[in-house]
């Protein structure tokens, strides 16, 4: 018997590669926003009083939580804030998924879900998406211990659009379990399930400042749910770490939220560049999904995705590729600035040669 027999072991989530210090790359591999945060954030950062760092922050994240509640028209007791949506999601898995029945999520989705299920010993069942990477709704109508849906999905970029009736049917059909809808990318054109939160006590909608508010480095995630749901979540949060959100994050988060004009402008710019990128890739023979996110999911022709990934990397352009079933033929390419995406196209042309059309 060794102490190692008692260790909780898990195969961890693998984040996208970070460039080494001083290495100049075009970084299109972690879905960061290519634009800086709002000028109001820059102003709030330079005005931040370092003396306040002596003091613990608000354990309930009060000022930022209230600002989010106001912005979206919810009560403060219906909002939860965490250290990125990863923190919110992990806490939600731990809180809401405590059944012997398996939780359900898609075969191709955010690759953190199965990691949290493994860490927390939550049984899970994986449901394959259809050939167009859409959810098969009947998969989510069978007995389960909980449901997780990323909408829009990652890394496919595909949104369960149409209408929210689809999500509503799943939530309404599962009063015995919590349905988590991960809307990390919804600001880039998805359809939100937020209106359903007022109607269903078992729905939990998770969002982030990382993508659409250019705040990946600040780590702010947030979520909406019934006050009862949020209370249970807080009970777990306060049982692990009361002071999750640091003071600068709380102050700068409020500043980011206050600049709606900048938010809309930068989101629109990303969407425009996404459309251009999709068109350019199609001209070069790629199959591209209809992305509603800040990345495209594209399968090259005439070269394997793996080889293209490696050759782009050699040229200092980082994109994401997974050696996994159904994913191996695709690259996930985050949307950068127009200049970065033009440089990407030039590099692709150099690697595979431009096809006609």
Residue 8 has a CB neighbour count (10 Å cut-off) of: 8
For ligand PMP, the closer CB: 150 or 191: 150
CB 33 within 8 A of CB 212: yes
Nearer to ligand PMP, 271 or 348 (CB): 271
Q: How far is the CB of 147 from ligand PMP (least distance, A)?
A: 15
Name the token pair of 134.
């859409």
Q: Which residues bind ligand PMP (CB under 6 A)?
A: 84-86, 110, 150, 154, 182, 184, 208, 210, 216, 221
**Beta carbon of residue 126, minimum distance to ligand PMP (angstroms, whole number):** 16
Q: Which is nearer to ligand PMP, 154 or 348 (CB)?
A: 154
Minimal CB distance to ligand PMP: which residue?
84
| Beta strand residue intervals within 295-350, DSSP E | 295-299, 317-318, 331-334
Minimum separation from the CB atom of position 321 to ligand PMP (A): 16
Q: Shortest approach of ligand PMP to residue 100 CB, angstroms?
A: 26
Q: Is 67 helix (H, G, I), strand (E, B) or coil?
A: helix
CA distance 287 to 269: 23
> How far, CA to CA in Å, does 217 sit from each of 33, 37, 132?
11, 10, 33
Q: Which is nearer to ligand PMP, 218 or 305 (CB)?
A: 218
Closest contact distance (angstroms) between CB of 237 and ligand PMP is 15
Smallest distance, ligand PMP to C-beta of residue 290, A: 17
The pairing of strands 295-299 and 287-288 is antiparallel
Buried b (16+ CB within 10 A) or exposed e, 56-78: ebeebbeebbebbbeebebebeb
In 249-354, the DSSP E strands lie at: 287-288, 295-299, 317-318, 331-334
Give me the sign of the Cα torsion angle 88, 89, 90, 93: positive
- Comparing CB distances to ligand PMP, the nearer of 164 and 184 is 184
Least distance to ligand PMP, CB of residue 346, Å:
27
Taking the complex as a whole, the smallest distance from the CB of residue 227 to ligand PMP amounts, in Å, to 23
Helix (H) or strand (E) holding 205: strand 203-208
Q: What is the DSSP letter of 177?
A: S
Which has the closest alpha carbon to 68: 207, 234, 176?
A: 207
């Amino acid at each position: 018997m060794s102490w190692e027999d008692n260790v909780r072991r898990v195969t961890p989530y693998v984040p996208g590669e970070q460039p080494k210090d001083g290495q100049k790359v075009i970084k299109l591999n972690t879905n960061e926003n290519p634009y800086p945060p709002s000028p109001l954030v820059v102003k709030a950062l330079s005005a931040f009083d370092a003396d306040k760092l002596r003091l613990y922050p608000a354990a309930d994240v009060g000022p930022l939580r209230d600002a989010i509640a106001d912005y979206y028209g919810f009560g403060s007791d219906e909002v939860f804030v965490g250290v990125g949506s990863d923190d919110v999601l992990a806490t939600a898995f731990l809180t809401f998924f405590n059944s012997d029945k398996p939780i359900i999520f898609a075969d191709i989705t955010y690759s953190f879900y199965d990691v949290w299920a493994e860490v927390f010993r939550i049984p899970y069942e994986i449901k394959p998406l259809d050939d167009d990477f859409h959810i098969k709704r009947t998969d989510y109508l069978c007995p389960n211990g909980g449901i997780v849906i990323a909408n829009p999905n990652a890394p496919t970029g595909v949104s369960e659009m149409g209408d929210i009736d689809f999500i509503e049917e799943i939530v309404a059909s599962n009063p015995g379990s919590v349905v988590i809808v991960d809307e990390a990318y919804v600001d880039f054109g998805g359809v939100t399930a937020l209106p359903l939160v007022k109607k269903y006590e078992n729905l939990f909608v998770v969002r982030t400042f990382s993508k659409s508010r250019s705040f990946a480095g600040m780590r702010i995630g947030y979520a909406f749910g019934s006050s009862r749901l949020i209370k249970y979540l807080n009970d777990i949060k306060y049982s692990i770490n009361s002071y999750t959100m640091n003071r600068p994050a709380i102050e700068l988060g409020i500043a980011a939220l206050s600049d709606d004009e900048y938010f809309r402008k930068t989101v629109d710019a990303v969407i425009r560049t996404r459309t251009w990128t999709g068109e350019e890739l199609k001209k070069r023979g790629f199959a591209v999904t209809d992305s509603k996110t800040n990345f495209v999911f594209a399968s090259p022709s005439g070269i394997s995705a793996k080889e293209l990934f490696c050759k782009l990397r050699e040229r200092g352009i980082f994109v994401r590729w997974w050696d996994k079933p159904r994913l191996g033929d695709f690259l996930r390419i985050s949307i950068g600035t127009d200049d970065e995406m033009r440089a990407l196209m030039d590099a692709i042309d150099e690697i595979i040669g431009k096809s006609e059309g």
